[in-house]
Structures are given as structure tokens and as C-alpha cells.
């Protein structure tokens, strides 16, 4: 007597492992959490689906929170971090769902379309980056809200400073010193950013690129710092020569 095996075709659609790889690369850990959780639901493993979401949210906080904490002077290729969390997600899928995915396909189960996978990835990306951009804009707004500027003389020489870092009276004293040393003259408008570090005054001065290796061009700044220092016996004067922005310091004179 022959026995017939009744193999029931799965009715739920799932995401193939390679689809999860693509969706995770596009949308980050949140997209991975959604795709993996949907597979667990299709396999009637709802508890694991909930855990997948928890781990995905935690991973998103760790990954993108860590990215924001990386110092600006450390350069990491843009592709490295997505490749790392995508590889981790792919390994987890293979480990926890690989056998179920293969069985589902072998039994004639259907797969979600690539368009759906890509859409999930894009939505995951949007959900992830919108709060990050909002946080960055808020941080800039808070930082800029504390920055004040004062102008001096007929040329409107400008000193920018953080009100929470240095007193306006100290800024006025620095401006008076720059006037006495003729840096604030009547020919060209000068721009300075003043910062106080303990009892030290750090003055960022905008210069042209290439000056760091030109001793002749540096000499006036050396003389200026020496002259200004005599007017501030209780505060060390430090010049930071910058090009284009405050973070691009090409020479420090102290």
C-alpha cells in the first residue's frame, strides 16, 4: 500500500535572506528589525518577532548614537558602518531563520517582492535620519543662540564669542588691546573669535591658506601676539590661525 504525504504549501509570504541584506543596507537596523520580525510572524514565532524589534531599536540607538559621538578628526569611510550592521543582520538571519526560509521556499511558499523590500528600506532610512537631522539642527540652534558678535571702530572690526564662555567686558578689553596693537586698524575689517580656557584667551584669526609654512607671513602674527601679551599679564594669549572655518586650525601661536 502506498502512503501519500500531504505537504501543505505555506500561505504567508516571507523575505528571503538576500532581500533582508538589501533592506538592511538601505534602511539600517530598524529596517532589519521589521523584515526579520515579519519572517518570525510568518513562521508563527511571535515572541521572537517582538524580540527582533527590541534588538533593532537598541541597535539603532547604539549605531547612530555612536556615530554622532565620533570626533570630527576621525575619518571613517561612509560604507563601513552600513556594511558592518548589514553583515551582522545577515548572519543573524542565516542563524535563526535560514532553515525555515529554505523550507518555506522548498514547500512552494511565496516571497515578498523586491519593490516591497526596497520600500521598507527607504522608510526605515527616513525614520532613522529624520530624528538625527532634527537633533543636529537643534544642537546648532542652541549653539548659535549663545554666540554673540560685537563690532569696533569705523571699520566695524568684529569679535564673535560665546556668552556662556567669556564675559562681554573681557571681549571689550581684548578689542581694546587689538586696537592698541593696531591689528584693528582703519584699512581692512578684521574678524576674530574669542574663547576663554581657564585664564587663557584663545583668539581665532582668519588667514589665507599656505601661511603656516611661510615664516615671513607668520612674523606679523608672532609680533602681534607678543605685543598683545604685554597688555594681558594675567592671561595667556594664544592665536589660532584658521582657514575657512574655526575647526581648520593651520597654526597655533602661543
User: For residue range 15-53, what is the model confidence (pLDDT) as tens digits?
Assistant: 999 999 999 999 999 999 999 999 999 999 999 999 999
pLDDT of residue 89: 92
High-pLDDT (> 70) share of the chain, %: 87
Same domain assignment for residues 138 and 187? no
CA distance 67 to 129: 12
High-pLDDT (> 90) share of the chain, %: 48
Of 115, 144, 173, which one is at a domain's C-terminal end?
A: 144
Please, what's the b/e burial string for 94-122 (b: 16 or more CB within 10 A of its CB; e: otherwise)? Answer: eebbeebbeebeeeebeebeeebbebbbe
pLDDT of residue 14: 93
Q: Which of 130-134, 146-150, 158-162, 168-172 has the lowest mean pLDDT?
A: 130-134
- Residue 198, Ramachandran bin (φ over 0: left; ψ between -120 and 50: alpha; else beta): left
- Predicted TM-score (pTM) of the model is 0.54
Same domain assignment for residues 122 and 171? no
Same domain assignment for residues 102 and 154? no
Same domain assignment for residues 138 and 158? no
Beta bridge partners of 241: 205, 251
Residue 28 included in any domain: yes
Residues composing the chain:
254
Same domain assignment for residues 119 and 159? no
What is the average pLDDT value for the chain, to the nearest integer?
85
Confidence of residue 72 (pLDDT cuts 50, 70, 90): low
Closest CA to 152 of 133, 125, 172, 138: 172
Residue 111 included in any domain: yes
Calculate mean pLDDT across residues 43-69: 87
Same domain assignment for residues 152 and 140? no
Greatest mean pLDDT range, 79-83, 217-221, 225-229 = 225-229
Greatest mean pLDDT range, 58-72, 101-115, 199-213, 233-247 = 101-115
182 Cα distance to chain centroid:
40
Q: DSSP letter string over the chain?
A: ------PPPP-S-B--HHHHHHHHHHHHHHHHHHHHHHHHHHTT-HHHHHHHHHHHHHHHHHHHHHHHHS-TT----TTHHHHHHHHHHHHHHHHHHHHHHHHHHHTT--B--HHHHHHHHHHHHHHHHHHHHHHHHHHHHHHHHTEEEEEETTTTEEEEEETTTS-HHHHHHHHHHHHHTTSS-SSS--EEEEEEETTEEEEEEE--TTGGG-HHHHHHHHHHHHHHHHH-TTS-EEEEEESSSTT-EEEEE-
pLDDT of residue 4: 47
pLDDT of residue 149: 87
CA distance 122 to 23: 8
Residue 160 included in any domain: yes
Same domain assignment for residues 96 and 208? no
pLDDT of residue 180: 93
CA distance 198 to 177: 19
Same domain assignment for residues 80 and 154? no
Same domain assignment for residues 119 and 223? no
Number of domains in the chain: 2
Structural domain of 244: 146-253
Same domain assignment for residues 184 and 125? no
CA distance 202 to 165: 11
User: For residue range 104-142, what is the model confidence (pLDDT) as tens digits?
Assistant: 999 989 999 999 999 999 998 888 887 677 666 655 654
Same domain assignment for residues 140 and 24? yes
Residue 100 included in any domain: yes
Residue 9 included in any domain: no
pLDDT of residue 112: 93
Residue 69 included in any domain: yes
Q: With contact defined as beta carbons under 8 Å apart, do 163 and 146 qualify?
A: yes
Q: What is the CATH number of the domain that holds 211?
A: 3.30.70.1350
Amino acid at each position: 500500500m502506498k502512503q501519500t504525504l500531504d505537504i501543505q504549501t505555506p500561505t504567508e509570504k516571507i523575505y528571503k535572506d538576500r532581500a533582508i541584506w538589501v533592506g538592511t543596507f538601505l534602511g539600517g537596523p530598524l529596517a532589519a528589525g521589521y523584515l526579520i520580525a515579519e519572517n518570525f510572524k510568518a513562521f508563527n514565532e511571535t515572541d521572537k518577532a517582538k524580540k527582533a524589534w527590541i534588538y533593532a531599536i537598541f541597535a539603532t540607538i547604539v549605531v547612530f548614537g555612536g556615530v554622532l559621538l565620533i570626533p570630527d578628526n576621525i575619518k571613517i569611510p561612509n560604507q563601513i558602518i552600513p556594511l558592518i550592521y548589514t553583515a551582522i543582520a545577515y548572519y543573524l538571519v542565516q542563524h535563526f531563520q535560514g532553515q525555515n526560509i529554505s523550507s518555506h521556499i522548498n514547500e512552494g511558499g511565496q516571497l515578498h517582492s523586491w519593490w516591497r523590500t526596497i520600500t521598507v528600506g527607504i522608510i526605515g532610512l527616513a525614520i532613522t535620519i529624520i530624528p538625527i537631522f532634527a537633533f543636529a539642527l537643534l544642537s546648532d540652534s542652541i549653539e548659535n543662540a549663545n554666540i554673540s558678535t560685537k563690532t569696533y571702530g569705523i571699520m566695524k572690526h568684529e569679535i564673535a564669542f560665546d556668552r556662556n564662555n567669556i564675559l562681554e567686558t573681557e571681549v571689550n578689553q581684548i578689542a581694546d588691546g587689538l586696537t592698541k596693537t593696531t591689528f584693528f586698524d582703519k584699512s581692512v575689517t578684521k574678524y576674530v573669535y574669542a574663547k576663554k580656557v581657564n585664564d587663557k584667551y584663545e583668539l581665532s584669526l582668519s588667514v589665507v591658506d599656505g601661511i603656516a609654512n611661510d615664516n615671513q607671513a607668520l612674523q606679523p602674527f608672532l609680533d602681534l601676539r607678543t605685543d598683545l601679551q604685554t597688555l594681558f599679564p594675567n592671561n595667556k594669549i594664544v592665536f589660532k590661525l584658521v582657514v575657512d572655518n574655526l575647526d581648520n586650525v593651520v597654526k597655533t601661536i602661543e
